[in-house]
Structure 1
């Protein structure tokens, strides 16, 4: 316990609270059991430590990482029990997916230690979701942390305090950037390349991002789905195909032939890759039956992944659509438009460059042209970067 507490205090001392992720203010931190999911590298650990600092609850809190060698001979439940006896109130367990059957012991904590508030998070979205949906389904409140938006990137890099803008505010041009950002395009281009992941300032960023992707494909998905090692190679080929498509319209038979898998397995691969935060599947409808609708297009989950998986030279049209979907799906239900690119709450969006025409939305009520490479919008023409202010 003393060793774990020393590690906790050391990490807390090195935690900066100047920039805090969007999800922090949305979590009901007084809940007894919170599960935070999110793809690898999006900042879950930092958010937990920041919350402890901001809530000024260091004396009654303990942060532990379940991958610590300490847990080769000690159980999570034993630590929680000892902490509880010392009048501990808030236990934060990071990398919990690396502890075998973690959800069983967390359930025991919830049931047997009623005064203890527990927050768990981990990098393997699949395993976290599996546990939360099974043993903890009636006990845990689950939140998902996405990568950084353009708004967050600006706040992080420029020291601004831009608030989120709703979709209605964006389409009515009711948004604004501070005076110290007179020209957003250069910053927007930087965001597309690296800004989705908070660790972009670290050395060899793309190498680190490749490691994140490989860990997800080689460890997280195969472990969750009980796949053999050869399957990870098929997953990599599938990701490669998606990354170089314009955009990718799935044909299960052709894909199965291309990666050497059967047609049924390919559908499962898409589900696993989406749950792991690598891809986004765009469906034909935006109603409540969306899960039953046919998939129209498949994109990588974010623009930074587009750049990393295409050697820094992504198809520009695919990159723009990926950015729009990545930024809008956090707060909105996004579907494929029958006449254009995207449909959100009865509004149709056609995404393109500065020379994009309005032909495809001329006969559509509530149609908008989303243009990249422009600083300002007018009437139903909106700059693509503005949608990055949505969360």
Structure 2
């Protein structure tokens, strides 16, 4: 354990507090067991280390990744008990999905070491409430999304910009845009964000970012999905084929028969694979609000999860219309319910209808639709029910 404590101190020294993700202020850190889920590369590890550096007593805290060699000969439950006996108060666990029997031992820690607060991160694949040892009554779970457009601007420029609720944006978008225009030029920043701004590690080397993103995608499929669902090599290859098929076509209405033939999988396997890719943070499925969604229900429309994935996987498919819709869906994911609309493009919280388009887009499709809005690209400021699409990047 001495080596673990030393490694933790070294990580803390290297951890910067200059930029912090939106979730830092939303988590109730007082809970005994906190789960932070998110796609690989979204910043979960940094979030844990920043919280420790800023808020915890480092003498009574410990951070460790669950794929550490320490666990070849030691168990998590024994580490927790020994650390608690030494006066430990907070145990920060990274990548729990890489540890066998993670849920059973977390349950034991919760029950047997009640004075120890545990905060753990995991792949977005992990279904905490369906684990073999039910943690639903114990763990409070949070999802860490990719960077919003607002966060990208903060990360890129150092400016302090606040987020807004959807209702605030809809009612006061002109005033909000006016205020922001005093400080930023949103359109060139928005263009850059669409290509490289979803994951914080773009700053390490923006020229190699898309290649690193492809490497991350491979790790998500080969390591993260496999660690949770224990899939075969054959299915791993089918998932890669499916993701590429989606990337070169999305957003689109999937033809399950043709997709099945293209990747060599049955309808049931294909639909399950789509859902695995969604849980892994790689694609988004959309349905109409009246459609029942079951295990074998095919999505009515498929999107890549964010626009950076479009540039990395299928640059030839990055036409401006696809980018706009993919961005809009991504910014609302996990913040609101989003469906396909009967009139217009999207229905948010089963109340607000949005049509997405360029600066010359008309309101024909949403004419006479109650609570309808036109989200336009390439404009700095809107009026009435016309709102700049980039402003929806300020929801978190």
TM over 0.5: yes
Give SS of 1:51's match. helix
SS in 1 for 2:176: coil
1:146 maps to: 145
Partner of 1:321: 325
1:248 is aligned to 252
TM-score for the superposition, normalised by structure 2: 0.93
Distance in 2 between residues matched to 1:30 and 1:312, nearest whole Å: 47
Determine the C-alpha separation between the residues in 2 that align with 1:312 and 1:133.
43
Shift of 1:230: 1.7
Structure 1 residue 282 displacement after superposition:
0.8
Change beyond 3 A, Cα 1:62–1:131: farther
* Distance in structure 2 (CA, Å) of the matches to 1:6 and 1:127: 29
Residue 348 of structure 1 is matched in structure 2 by: 353
Q: Which residue of 2 aligns with 1:61?
A: 61
Provide the rounded CA distance (Å) in 2 between the counterparts of 1:201 and 1:131.
Answer: 36
The 5-angstrom pairing of residues 234-245 of structure 1 reads 234-245=238-249
Aligned to 1:303: 307
Counterpart of 2:125 in 1: which secondary structure? helix
Partner of 1:70: 70
Which residues of 2 match residues 179-198 of structure 1 at below 5 A?
Answer: 181-198=183-200
Distance in 2 between residues matched to 1:246 and 1:53, nearest whole Å: 41
Per-residue deviation, 1:182: 3.7
Q: TM-score, normalised by structure 1?
A: 0.94
Q: Which residue of 1 aligns with 2:164?
A: 165
Whether the 8 Å contact between 1:15 and 1:46 is mirrored in structure 2 is: yes
- Aligned equivalent of 1:359: 364
| Higher deviation after alignment, 128-137 or 230-239 | 128-137
CA gap of 1:95–1:3, structure 2 versus 1, over 3 A, is same
- CA separation in 2, counterparts of 1:179 and 1:252? 45
**Aligned partners of 1:41, 1:99: CA distance in 2, in Å?**
19
1:213-237 deviation line (CA, Å, top 9, x unaligned): 1112223324433322122221112
Q: Secondary structure at the match of 1:64?
A: strand
Report the Cα distance in structure 2 between the residues aligned to 1:40 and 1:125, rounded to whole angstroms.
Answer: 8
For 1:261 and 1:275, locate their aligned partners in 2 and report how far apart those are by CA, in whole Å.
19
The answer to whether the Cα contact below 8 Å between 2:346 and 2:354 also exists between their aligned partners in 1 is: yes
Q: Distance in 2 between matches of 1:257 and 1:28?
A: 47
Provide the secondary structure at the position in 2 that maps to 1:142: strand
Task: Look up the SS of the partner of 1:53 in the other structure.
Answer: helix
Structure 1, unmatched stretches of 5+, are none
- After TM superposition, list the pairs within 5 Å mapping 1:119-158 onto structure 2: 119-122=119-122, 124-127=123-126, 129=128, 134-158=133-157
Q: Which runs of 5+ in 2 are unaligned?
A: none
In the alignment, what sits opposite 1:376? 381
Q: State how far apart, in whole Å, the 2-side matches of 1:381 and 1:270 are.
A: 34
Deviates more, 1:380-389 or 1:329-338: 329-338
User: Is the 1:150–1:188 contact (alpha carbons within 8 Å) kept by the matching residues of 2?
Assistant: yes
Matched pairs, number: 389
